[in-house]
Structure 1
Amino acid sequence: MNLSWLPQLASIAVALVVGAVIITVRLKASSKPTSFKKIMIPPLGMSTGFAMFAYPPTHVPWLWAAAALLAGVLFFSYPLILTSKFEARGGQVYMVRSKAFVFIIIALLIVRLLLHDLVERAVTIPQTGALFFLLAFGMIVPWRLAMLRRYRVVLAALGKA
């Protein structure tokens, strides 16, 4: 019995679960005040993923790494930045729930799954993981920095900055 499709199916399943978790967390976040820590901890926590590059099978050419990082910055972060807004309520700063966010996350997930299949044909599974980590890191850092900038503007309007 040929089970060579199992890793790809597992990868798709994990991506779908992570996408659902992101949507759930983001929708719940709009009902609680946000803070500097809530905005900046995800990219800081994610940065520990760079440790994977100590494992030689994850090494990719510098040009590929730069391309993955830039794709995250230039293409994938922009829709998230556009849908991340804040407002003041009761002296606290809240994220504004965006109807477009869920659709953007689903679209990004579909694009990621399609790209994953193409990339996996050209490089090993550990290298694919490394490239998609760089893509995701390139997406999350500008998004969170834009969120932080907007958060501080609303905080300043409340006279708390």
Structure 2
Amino acid sequence: MIYASSIVAILMAIAVILIRMKAAKKPTNVKKIVLPPIFMSTGALMFIHPMFRVSSAELIEALTVGALFSILLIKTSKFEVRGEDIYLKRSKAFVFILIGLLIIRIIFKSYLSTQINYAELSGMFWILAFGMIVPWRIAMYFQYRKIYTSRLATNESL
């Protein structure tokens, strides 16, 4: 089961890289920044089933690691203005960071699967991912709003 989930994680990482590269070719907006964590939040429904529930300590650990990982994503996510639109700037480091995070995740999962029940571990990794994407997207939102409002102010003064 660990191998299957690792293969799925690799395929998802490849998909994220491809989606991110494609998205960099199109202008961004608030909806594109805010919706991914909202869509991901539906995964919290797994915690309805008792086997996925984690202890308070595991929750704090997963959120802390997720928040630390989000720093790397925040640092590599920048916006730029092209013409009239705002684009997410391509970062070569983002791909390497995503691959690095994936490798770390697989190593953690391989090691922790011998220590922690698989269902609880699944819950912890969902919490880690959610704890990573939410701060990242919040930072992106504020960065986007700053550029958007400064562009509005510049356009009004003309």
Paired residue total: 154
Find the aligned partners of 1:64 and 1:8 in 2 and give their Cα distance: 19
1:64-98: CA deviation from partner (whole Å, max 9, x where unpaired): 1111011101x210110000000111211100000
Q: Is the 8 A contact 1:12 1:113 kept in 2?
A: yes
Find the aligned partners of 1:8 and 1:129 in 2 and give their Cα distance: 10
- For the pair 1:29 / 2:18, whether they are aligned, the reply is no
**Alignment correspondent of 2:57:** 63
Q: Please, what is the CA RMSD of the aligned residues?
A: 1.3
Equivalent of residue 144 in structure 1, options 133, 137, 145: 137
Find the aligned partners of 1:8 and 1:18 in 2 and give their Cα distance: 15
Equivalent AA in structure 1 for residue 23 of structure 2: A
Q: SS of the counterpart of 1:87?
A: strand
**Alignment correspondent of 1:13:** 7
**Cα offset, 1:11, TM superposition:** 1.1
Equivalent AA in structure 2 for residue 25 of structure 1: I
1:16-68: CA deviation from partner (whole Å, max 9, x where unpaired): 10110111111111100001010000101111111111101111111111110
Equivalent AA in structure 2 for residue 82 of structure 1: K
Gaps of 5+ in 2: 154-158
Q: How much identity, in percent, do the aligned residues show?
A: 44
- For the pair 1:115 / 2:119, whether they are aligned, the reply is no
Q: SS of the counterpart of 2:4?
A: helix
**Alignment correspondent of 1:4:** none
**Cα offset, 1:157, TM superposition:** 2.2
Find the aligned partners of 1:10 and 1:85 in 2 and give their Cα distance: 34
Find the aligned partners of 2:13 and 2:36 in 1 and give their Cα distance: 15
TM-score using structure 1 length: 0.92
Q: Is the 8 A contact 1:91 1:158 kept in 2?
A: no
**Alignment correspondent of 1:129:** 122
Find the aligned partners of 1:142 and 1:135 in 2 and give their Cα distance: 11
Find the aligned partners of 2:5 and 2:48 in 1 and give their Cα distance: 22
TM-score using structure 2 length: 0.94
Q: SS of the counterpart of 1:121?
A: coil
Find the aligned partners of 1:156 and 1:102 in 2 and give their Cα distance: 29
